[in-house]
Amino acid sequence: MSSGATAELADLVNEWLRIDQNPGTKREISDLWAAGHTEELNKRLRSRIEFGTAGRLRGRMEAGWSRMNDLIVIQASQGLCAYVLEHVDNARNRGAVIGYDHRYNSERWALLTAAAFLDKGVKAYLYRDLVHTPMVPFGVKKLNAACGIMITASHNPKNDNGYKVYCENGVQIIGPHDKGISASIAANLDPKRWDADSVLANPLCIDRTREMVEGYFDHIASLSQYNALNGSTDIKFVNTSMHGVGHVFVDRSFERFGFRPFIPVKEQQHPDPEFPSVRFPNPEEAGALDLAIRTAEATGATYVLAQDPDADRFSAAERKVDGTWVTFTGDQLGAIFAGRILAQYKASGKPLEKLSMVASTVSSKLIEAMAAAEGFNFTECLTGFKYIGNTALALVEKGFEVPFGYEEAIGFMIGSEIRDKDGVSAAVFFAELVALLHREGKTASSFLEELYERYGYFQTNNSYFVCDDPLVIDRIFTRVRNYDGQGSGRTPSYPKSIAGLEVTSVVDLTLGYDTTNPPTYKPSLPLSSGHMIQFRAASEGLKVVLTTRTSGTEPKIKYYLEGSGQDRDAVQGVLREVVRELGDEWMQASLNSLGRPS
């Protein structure tokens, strides 16, 4: 390092040592400095952790501005409190709802968060026990709070934790609030209070835990249509909460739906911040459901239900007649839920034109096809439930009823009470649908096949390329935007075909260019902070939707690919060719030394 860079790093170290009052994290930085670990110190101190795609701060629990620790939580809480007091009416009296899960430091950071709000005379509705993430937006809505905070890192590894923020509307923060809160944090960096011991004794720290939990289960019970029949089903369900907080919530929800108890995966039943049986406590990860499936086979269960550790996401698997297991993708579950909700809405006699469903733009287009055939509204939005929730609220303002929204990353919004994903409501709603199908001699898989027969076969193939060089990523996307060298200025020239299919439309949410919307060519969706382009292509009964985007948290170029048509073999064949051409020709994976998942 140059002398100037060393001096700058020394200033950062000294600033941390001046301001941090936690002996453990303070010692981390001083020990790294004494040992000359400048590279590690640069990683931790050169940049500040920022709100990501899920409207939260999330990272490894270590000392440093780019990590999660006491100091970051205090600063975030001071900045958020100041922002809310300035921008939300009657915020001091309406207060903040604060929840936490079982991870290391979660309870302490919830107390530190409450302390920052109490210090400014703002009520703190602090949950007195472990809760799953949807309890925070539920509480914000029921208590008419000014904001909500959940301390969790969701399905991240055990060494991570996070700080998730909800606006007064009960939805995760979006722009401009994320930038506004970040600016307010920067203006409130000096910690005013480190002591959390007296928080619970403060008269402004209010306990409404029992009332909110009972209200949540009343909401769950309202989602059931066949409560009187559910208890008679002979289907056995296995449920895993992935060492998280979900077990007690799913257990009680099964009871409120009238079901007999499910079979728990005992090794994963109780909250454990070590996550001893899974490396990544994420139901989407390969092998994550292995223990649950073994439990199901040992007990004769037909279905496995799973939530991630903070229980806001849901996955499921089904044992087929031949004894093999199918784990449903997020898009397949989205289709199954949408099909059931559509049937419920039709049976209600309400006009279909008042029904609307929401999905992220990288999710399956099956619901889009369903909406076109049935006559209800379907709306796309950017990836993330902060967009899905706000889009749902905007549609309600226009007179629509929005009982369902989802994203392909196994996030599902069931009903209109909580405008966020909820793995508990999704689990019991799925269980009731399975019980109904069983009475009709069907399964979840056969129901999905019926949807394919009615609306066309849809298959996804999502993956990514690994690239840790931002300049290479920029070069790749620059080339895609001027593929034939005929582009000029603000008028890009994208590839005209892929896998023998003609590209029929391109929506570039980085440039703000939509080929389907002349003469302005402005997209209807808001722009993305990273690279994001969606292509649609078609030929002879086949359709393909390909979205490529950079990850905001990982060194990846992600792609979301879906093919559709009546001929299943043709769809599968064209998907293989699209993946090949995307990697070999569009991304030039070999030339650019792009990695691929094993």
Active-site residue list: 154
Contact status, residue 109 vs residue 161, Cβ threshold 8 Å: yes
- Written as six digits, the tokens of 435 are 């019980």
Q: How many angstroms from the chain centroid is the CA of residue 37? A: 35
Query: What does the chain come to in residues?
Result: 598
Instruction: Give 216's DSSP letter.
Output: H
Contact status, residue 154 vs residue 310, Cβ threshold 8 Å: yes
C-alpha closest to that of 295 among 251, 237, 246, 247: 237
The rounded distance, in Å, linking the Cα atoms of 25 and 72 is 11
Contact status, residue 484 vs residue 496, Cβ threshold 8 Å: yes
C-alpha closest to that of 425 among 500, 313, 289: 313
> φ and ψ at 13, to 5 degrees?
-60, -45
> φ and ψ at 219, to 5 degrees?
-60, -45
What are the helix and strand counts (H, E) for the chain?
Answer: 19, 23
The rounded distance, in Å, linking the Cα atoms of 104 and 243 is 13
Q: Which residue has the tokens 């203006």?
A: 187
DSSP-derived secondary structure for 332-370: HHHHHHHHHHHHHHHHHT--GGGEEEEEETTS-SHHHHH
- Written as six digits, the tokens of 461 are 């193939």
